[in-house]
Amino acid sequence: MSGRITKFLAICAVALVPLAAHAEGCASTPTHFAATVNGEVSGQHQYTDDLEFGWTFQLRPAPQGWILDVLDQGGFNLALETPPIHSDTNPRFLYGWHFRNAANTGPNLGDVNAPQLDRRFTLNDPREGAVRSMGLGWLTIQDYGLADPHPGERARMVYLRFEACVLTPKTPEEQDREADLANPIYGDEEMEQIRACGLDLAYRPEAWVMPRMVGGDFDANGSHDFALPVVREEDGQHGIAVCRSGTWMSVLGIDEVPPGSDLVPGYFNQVEAWNAGPRDDLLQYGDDTGLPARPGDIIIIERIEKSAYSIYWDGDEFRSHLHYTYIEP
């Protein structure tokens, strides 16, 4: 790259930094999933990132910069219908000349009608006739570099640093499921199942940690099991009731503390999060190899960023395993 172009790149990058806008908040809502993408790309390289819901975010090289695509699982570009469709000032086109004046002699002060730092794009699927809205997104340019500064030419974007967000609607079934998971109230049918499994009236179901119930096959016998947080009526001690196959009830943390680690009843009063399911899906502690291999699902209880235990069935009883303890300095 020539010294003149290198100097042009540096001037553009330095001048832009104070103007770069932060991307809008990108978070899931009751009606939409959200995925955040942060990155940079240069030269003729392509940028690709997997989105959380099976789609692919892509910046593919073009003559004056990059083109933004969002591909579904079959490779269809859902961002194709972002308006204006028949224009090279489409927000998906991240072109260097968008930021230069018409003569390419200085910055774009408005004489070139092109999108600038903040880009909005829509996601649609027209393949079944009527266009279905699949979501929307935005990209914020945080920094960039240009080449080809000569008058009469079109400047190329040769470096880009960005933040992006992609939103896609949740199905009605997904919305209903999430609303149910966020509901702390036990329904009549759930209460019947809980008491029918043998939970003594000395304990009351109470969602002191959410979700209010979790399920799995903890003893690996092929039948569905479930667990729920409970409270002992006489003193408010927290515990977890586990029902296996709708028949066998264990109350952990009150009458039974699973052996195998330093787990004590008082810990259940401090639990801030929990989950249950296959150990390969839940375990995130890469350096921890001490959890015995068992076929059943596990329960994880955790004080967030402080400590975490697994509770698992060893064939005869529930046992516990300490994954980590973080002691603040």
pLDDT digit string, tens, across residues 24-46: 579 888 888 999 999 999 999 99
Predicted local confidence at residue 285, as pLDDT? 63
Q: What is the pLDDT of residues 102-146, one digit of tens each?
A: 999 999 999 999 999 999 999 999 887 777 889 999 999 999 999
Prediction pTM value: 0.62
Closest to 94 measured CA to CA, from 78, 113, 114:
114
- Is the torsion defined by CA of 316, 318, 321, 323 positive or negative? positive
Helix, strand or coil, per DSSP, at residue 56: strand
Question: If you average pLDDT over residues 226-251, what whole number do you get?
Answer: 96
* Average pLDDT in the chain: 88
Instruction: State the pLDDT confidence band at 293, using cuts at 50, 70 and 90.
Output: confident
Q: Return the structure tokens found at 265.
A: 């009843």
Predicted local confidence at residue 239, as pLDDT? 97
Query: How many CB atoms are located within 10 Å of the residue 299 CB?
Result: 25
Check whether 19 has a pLDDT greater than 60: no
Predicted local confidence at residue 270, as pLDDT? 96
Instruction: State the pLDDT confidence band at 221, using cuts at 50, 70 and 90.
Output: very high
Distance CA 100, CA 180 (A): 52
Query: How many CB atoms are located within 10 Å of the residue 273 CB?
Result: 12
Collect all residues with Cβ–Cβ distance below 8 Å to 40 and sequence separation of at least 6. Answer: 47, 143, 159, 160, 161, 162
Q: What is the pLDDT of residues 191-216, one digit of tens each?
A: 999 999 999 999 999 999 999 999 99
Question: If you average pLDDT over residues 139-158, what whole number do you get?
Answer: 94
Pairing state between β 65-71 and 47-50? unpaired
Check whether 329 has a pLDDT greater than 60: no
Distance CA 1, CA 7 (A): 10
Q: What is the pLDDT of residues 79-107, one digit of tens each?
A: 999 999 889 999 999 999 999 999 999 99
Question: If you average pLDDT over residues 285-313, what whole number do you get?
Answer: 85
Collect all residues with Cβ–Cβ distance below 8 Å to 293 and sequence separation of at least 6. Answer: none
Q: How far is CA 133 from CA 79, 138, 169, 172, 311, in A?
A: 10, 15, 8, 14, 43
Predicted local confidence at residue 158, as pLDDT? 97
Predicted local confidence at residue 1, as pLDDT? 40
Predicted local confidence at residue 281, as pLDDT? 79
Phi and psi at 166, nearest 5°, equal -125, 130
Q: What is the pLDDT of residues 246-272, one digit of tens each?
A: 999 999 998 788 999 999 999 999 999
Q: H or E stretch including 4?
A: helix 3-16
Q: Return the structure tokens found at 314.
A: 């060893």
Instruction: State the pLDDT confidence band at 149, using cuts at 50, 70 and 90.
Output: confident
Predicted local confidence at residue 288, as pLDDT? 63
Least confident of 52-56, 101-105, 145-149, 187-191: 52-56
Predicted local confidence at residue 30, as pLDDT? 85
Predicted local confidence at residue 287, as pLDDT? 57
Predicted local confidence at residue 8, as pLDDT? 43
